[in-house]
């Protein structure tokens, strides 16, 4: 079982992590960050495997994975 933390200050909402997550546990937030972007959020933490694919594909390096 894993857990991710997304730094919403740096997330630009590119949705790459959402499309690459094999368990589909990441979604787009309804709230904007300080820069005006809708950010990614972990939507089903209990199902995250900690595979770190989301962190590897993030161009803004704003995802931290805990296993």
- In angstroms, the Cα distances linking 2 to 5, 19, 35, 61 are 10, 18, 28, 18
Specify the pLDDT at position 44. Answer: 82
Q: How far apart are CA 50 and CA 4, in angstroms?
A: 7
Kindly report, residue by residue over 8-50, the tens digit of the pLDDT: 999 999 999 999 999 999 999 999 999 999 999 998 878 999 9
């Amino acid at each position: 079982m894993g857990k991710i933390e997304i730094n919403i200050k740096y997330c630009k909402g590119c949705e790459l992590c959402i499309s690459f997550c094999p368990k589909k546990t990441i979604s787009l937030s309804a709230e904007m960050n300080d820069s005006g972007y809708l950010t990614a959020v972990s939507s089903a933490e209990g199902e995250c495997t900690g595979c770190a694919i989301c962190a590897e594909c993030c161009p803004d390096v704003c995802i931290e994975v805990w296993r």
